[in-house]
Amino acid sequence: MKIPVLLDCDPGHDDVMAILLAAQHLDLKGLTTVSGNAPLAQTTYNTRYTVELAGITHIPIAAGASHPMVHTVDFTGDIHGESGLDGPVMHEPEVAIRSDHAVDFIHEVVDQTDGVHIIATGMLTNIALVLRRYPGIHSKIASICLMGGSLTHGNVTPVAEFNIWADPEAAHVVFTSGISIKMVGLNVTRQVSAIPNIRQDIRDIGSHTAVAVADMLDFFSAQLEKLYGLPGASMHDPLAVVPLIDDRILTFQPMHVVIELAGTHTYGMTVCDYRERKNEDGTPAGKPPNADVAVSVDVDRFWALFLDTLKHYP
Ligand code: BDR
Ligand code: CA
């Protein structure tokens, strides 16, 4: 039996890779969209394009939040290009989205399905709004597996990662919800780069989905090489899906994580208690863990899974 999941995303090149993994290996009940790599209308358009590209138009799509809960962010970033998904030649998608808001759709699915896991690969606004609008629903969410934050450095600021920085107050709501959380941050996702020979292996699969993915990764890689000196595109978002598919790719440590909401230089930082400090009597010091934080990744195992997954698409 496949594990039931919802995927909340802001495609975004790496969000597309997350969708492809989730749709192949999990019982993907729906895709919900949020602003981030581009404005909401564009991330929703990119999601519609993706499901048509991969022949998975049976998966419902609902659009969600266009703005973070508190602060103001300009969602016309440079990393993913003007469309949020520059690289492939995109066709105009025809598939319709649902008429209800992502927040209500997420609530409906969680309420009606036992043991749904939420995967979040964008800012956490939709998830926080669900938790606020439907108090009590948290007990029905099996876990939240999110790409966000970092144990080490940030990307959008020296210490903050984009998805958390884009809506830190929403992240605070999620991290204080009591729901089981897996945090997959930059400290591991930046270790998995789509270097040229991997992109060629993907292109060589030859299907239209694989070629479009290779085109996406070529563009995304060029941006990350230019702007951050990385050897290729970081596979951030698909790594938030893999714990539900194969628990040998990422390893986690339980930690107490708080979201910095007040710091002048640290707004949006994930402050992770990594000290493993003990009291005199041997009991753990500090606050009890509220998240499992990814600390290492098996890069080869990830690529084997990803390449094999792509071979199943048309
Ligand atoms: C995250 O930000 C976005 O650019 C990516 O899609 C990923 O979710 C990485 O910081
Ligand atoms: Ca994303």
Q: How confident is the model at residue 74 (pLDDT cuts 50, 70, 90)?
A: confident
pTM, to two decimals? 0.97
The pLDDT, as a whole number, for residue 33 is 98
Q: How far apart are CA 255 and CA 99, in angstroms?
A: 39
Q: How confident is the model at residue 204 (pLDDT cuts 50, 70, 90)?
A: very high
Query: Measured from the CA of 121, which atom of ligand 1 is nearest?
Result: 8
The pLDDT, as a whole number, for residue 301 is 98
Between 276 and 31, the more confident residue is 31
Q: How far apart are CA 314 and CA 308, in angstroms?
A: 13
Mean pLDDT computed over every residue of the chain: 96
- Give the DSSP H or E segment for 143: strand 141-147
Tokens for 20, please give them.
């492809």
Query: Measured from the CA of 161, which atom of ligand 1 is nearest?
Result: 10
CB 121 within 8 A of CB 236: yes
Instruction: State the number of CA atoms in the 13 A half-sphere of 91 facing the CB.
Output: 11
The pLDDT, as a whole number, for residue 14 is 98
The pLDDT, as a whole number, for residue 8 is 98
Instruction: Decide whether any atom of ligand 1 lies within 6 Å of the 221 Cβ.
Output: no
For residue 85, the ligand closest to its alpha carbon is: 1
The pLDDT, as a whole number, for residue 275 is 86
Q: Is residue 77 pLDDT above 80, yes or no?
A: no
- Active-site residue, from 13, 117, 172, 236: 236
Q: Is residue 48 pLDDT above 80, yes or no?
A: yes
CB 2 within 8 A of CB 25: yes
Phi, psi dihedrals of residue 137, rounded to the nearest 5°: -70, -25
Q: Is residue 67 pLDDT above 90, yes or no?
A: yes
Q: How far apart are CA 255 and CA 136, in angstroms?
A: 24
The pLDDT, as a whole number, for residue 90 is 87
Tokens for 142, please give them.
């099996």
Overall average pLDDT of the 283-301 stretch? 94
The pLDDT, as a whole number, for residue 9 is 98
Q: Which of 10, 146, 230 to mutate to test the pocket of ligand 1 (most atoms within 8 A of CB)?
A: 10
pLDDT 10s digits, 209-224: 999 999 999 999 999 9
Ligand 1 centre to CA of 162 (Å) is 6
Q: Is 91 a catalytic residue?
A: no
The pLDDT, as a whole number, for residue 283 is 85
Tokens for 125, please give them.
């606004």
Tokens for 186, please give them.
């930059």
Q: Is residue 276 pLDDT above 80, yes or no?
A: no
The pLDDT, as a whole number, for residue 148 is 98
C-alpha pair distances (Å), 68 with each of 64, 71, 75, 113, 169: 11, 6, 11, 28, 8
Query: Measured from the CA of 79, which atom of ligand 1 is nearest?
Result: 4
CB 128 within 8 A of CB 69: yes
Instruction: Decide whether any atom of ligand 1 lies within 6 Å of the 220 Cβ.
Output: no
Q: How far apart are CA 292 and CA 81, in angstroms?
A: 32
Q: Which of 166, 208, 196, 242 is nearest to 310 (CA)?
A: 208
In this structure, the residue with its CA closest to atom 2 of ligand 1 is: 162
Distance of CA 144 to the CA centre of its chain: 10
Q: How confident is the model at residue 182 (pLDDT cuts 50, 70, 90)?
A: very high
Ligand 2 centre to CA of 154 (Å) is 15
pLDDT 10s digits, 259-274: 999 999 999 999 999 8
Q: How far apart are CA 39 and CA 105, in angstroms?
A: 20
Instruction: Decide whether any atom of ligand 1 lies within 6 Å of the 223 Cβ.
Output: no
pLDDT 10s digits, 119-173: 999 999 999 999 999 999 999 999 999 999 999 999 999 999 999 999 999 999 9
